[in-house]
Chain A
Amino acid sequence: MREIGLRLRQNRLALAGLVLILLFMLMALFAPLIAPYDPYRIDESAVLSPPSAEHPLGTDSFGRDVLSRLLHGARISFKVGFISVGIALTAGVLIGALAGYSGRWVDAALSRVIDVLFSFPDILLALVIMAVLGASLTNVMIAIGIVYTPIFARITRGAVLEIKGSLFIDAARVLGAGRLTVLRRHILPNVMAPIIVQTTLSLAFAILAEAALSFIGLGVEPDTPSWGIMLNEGKDWMEAAWWIAVFPGLAITLAVLGFNVLGDGLRDALDPRLRGERL
């Protein structure tokens, strides 16, 4: 782990991504403390006011402080991101490992289900699930979790299949390791690298998906300070008050970019062939 940290530190871009994400996470964590206003407070005397000392990022059409809503929006985005990717990761790795390791009909059955899920465009599948479940924060997380399960399942299955045929798996078996020990100790550690990379990339997609769903009104409840909702409200005022849409848009871009470059950096850092080389 220390080596991976060191290797990551050498990659400037990935480090920048990590710093960016940590910054966002701090914002999300301490939003109630650092936000200058209540994100729900409507101030009729300050409707659509441009960025100023009083409202650093301006106010929206209800006079709500954009900075405060942005900070609270980070909470929603990251909560959705982590929980939905957590769901996808757990379900996907379980399904993929089971399919890859068992082989035969278990693999065939699970793989067909995954194929079916895969054949839908991401956002369409999320839309269908949201339409069935109804708009709410919990349902957004469930929907995104389901949508990103197949990719984890497929990556895990492929990696498990590849590792399963390695000689060191036979070597572990001839030393008396049972099926579960082989899976836990010899296969899973070797498939972790692509899964970790996919996790960071999926976090970016999940944040984007939440924003997209909220933007079209199938995400969280409409008065929630979510980046997607803010973007949606801001689009109607682009000419009169650009700051309402531009700042949440910027936040989404930066968060997604942060996770993406971190993911790329991790991909290099986790390559076991590079492990133990002089840094």
Chain B
Amino acid sequence: MTHRSQKGDAPVDAILEVKGLRCSFDTRRGTVKAVDGVDLRVRKGEMMALVGESGCGKSVTAQAIMGLIGRKAGERVEGEILFKGENLLEKSEEEWCRIRGNEISMVLQDPMTSLNPSHRVGRQVGEVLELHRKMSRSAAWSAAVEMLGKVGISSPEVRAKQYPHQFSGGMRQRSVIASAFIGQPELLIADEPTTALDVTIQAQILDLMKDLREQTGAAILLITHDLGVVAETCDTVSVMYAGKIVEQAPVKSLFAAPRHPYTRGLLASLPKPEGGKDLTPIPGQPPDLSELPPGCPFSDRCPHVVERCRIDRPPLRLVGGHRVSCWLAEED
């Protein structure tokens, strides 16, 4: 069962709504605004991509949604993270523990180190059930074996008894995905789940995630810097730049008609299948997150920049079915 995104936002079917999320870290060089006003809306069963270059705040956004930051001195998280209408930022650590793994789950970037080397894979996959469903160890184990089979690990009874280092990278990521889906979460956040894997395995892992989404109806927020991955798998895309969302649109429409100059630049810098033409990089560097300009964060690199861009920060507004943060974006 899938819910394709439609025009006309009905907030009722949004499973996750992030409003004005700001995350900052105090460092010796000053306060770094890693996330500076992010708005996101993920619908039930939707697969949304959060794209952007390294250091744009994608992972921090994910960590904030998981409640992993904001508890230490010098870390600040502001705004609202509404999950099924409840603000997660107001939850206590105990409430968080009940949500994590159970209702919201996460797949981390590096499968090589995201499994505990001293436990058998089956135990780790079943751990969620022991934690949240208070299942016995043996019941969790058999559920884990079944889940390992579902994620495409052959002879799961044997494999479950092995330790992570006996698994290949692809199999480890399958196991991590198994542990993320076994609790039947309503939202899965996948932080660059295929970055550490080679291309053929990447495709398999993405297919697996798509299949599991069809089966469970979970919404997926896929964090990636790879637009190729986005085009193949997602329904909608949010493009992030310097701690802000600059454009949000259905995937086809984004690739066909990008509205934000940064999105256009990203697409222009992709290699084309027909080859020949040189890649067109975006000139310049992303701004220093501890000294963000007052206006549009992309203004220094934008080919169309006007006076207003440097003074006023453009809000996200609906332009031709896209939500765009650019003063110059216009209806066709």
Contacts and interface: CB of A to CB of B under 8 A. Distances in A.
A174 B66 contact: yes
Most chain A Cβ neighbours within 10 Å, of B97, B102, B116: B116
A121 interface: no
A11 interface: no
Nearest to A3: B163
A175 interface: yes
Nearest to A168: B116
Contacts of A189: 116, 118-119
B310 interface: no
Given A168-B115, A276-B165, A176 B132 contact: yes
Nearest to A170: B108
Nearest to A181: B131
B101 A186 contact: no
B110 interface: yes
A272 B131 contact: no
A175 B110 contact: no
A64 to B, nearest CB: 50
A175 B180 contact: yes
A171 B108 contact: yes
Contacts of B127: 172, 175, 177, 185
B98 interface: yes
Contacts of A175: 100-101, 105-106, 127-128, 131, 179-180, 183
Nearest to A275: B163
A75 B163 CA distance: 40
B91 to A, nearest CB: 12
A175 B105 CA distance: 6
Contacts of A276: 162-163, 165-166
B176 A171 contact: yes
Interface residues of A, number: 23
A276 B132 CA distance: 30
A166 interface: yes
A9 to B, nearest CB: 20
Contacts of B109: 167
Interface in B102-133: 102, 105-106, 108-110, 113-119, 127-128, 131-132
A173 B101 CA distance: 8
B117 A272 contact: yes
A190 interface: yes
A278 to B, nearest CB: 11
Contacts of B68: 170, 173-174
Interface string B155-173: 0000000110110000000
Interface in B77-106: 93-94, 97-102, 105-106
A16 to B, nearest CB: 28
A159 to B, nearest CB: 12
Most chain B Cβ neighbours within 10 Å, of A173, A175, A273: A175
B108 A176 contact: no
A261 to B, nearest CB: 25
B115 A174 contact: no
Contact of A174 (B101, B117, B163): B101
A5 interface: no
A174 B100 contact: yes
Contacts of B99: 176
A181 B131 CA distance: 9
Most chain A Cβ neighbours within 10 Å, of B93, B98, B100: B100
Given A174-B68, A177-B131, A168 B114 contact: yes
B106 A174 contact: yes
Nearest to A104: B73
A275 B183 CA distance: 29
B165 A275 contact: yes
Contacts of B94: 178
Given A175-B180, A189-B118, 4 more contacts: A171-B106, A175-B105, A176-B99, A176-B132
List 9 A-B pairs, minimum CB-CB distance, nearest first: A176-B101, A175-B101, A174-B106, A176-B100, A171-B114, A167-B113, A189-B118, A168-B116, A167-B114
27 contacts: A167-B108, A171-B106, A171-B115, A171-B116, A171-B176, A172-B127, A173-B68, A174-B66, A174-B101, A174-B105, A174-B108, A175-B101, A175-B179, A175-B183, A176-B101, A176-B132, A177-B97, A177-B101, A185-B127, A186-B119, A189-B119, A190-B118, A272-B117, A272-B118, A272-B163, A276-B163, A276-B166
Interface of A: 166-168, 170-179, 181, 185-186, 189-190, 192, 272-273, 275-276
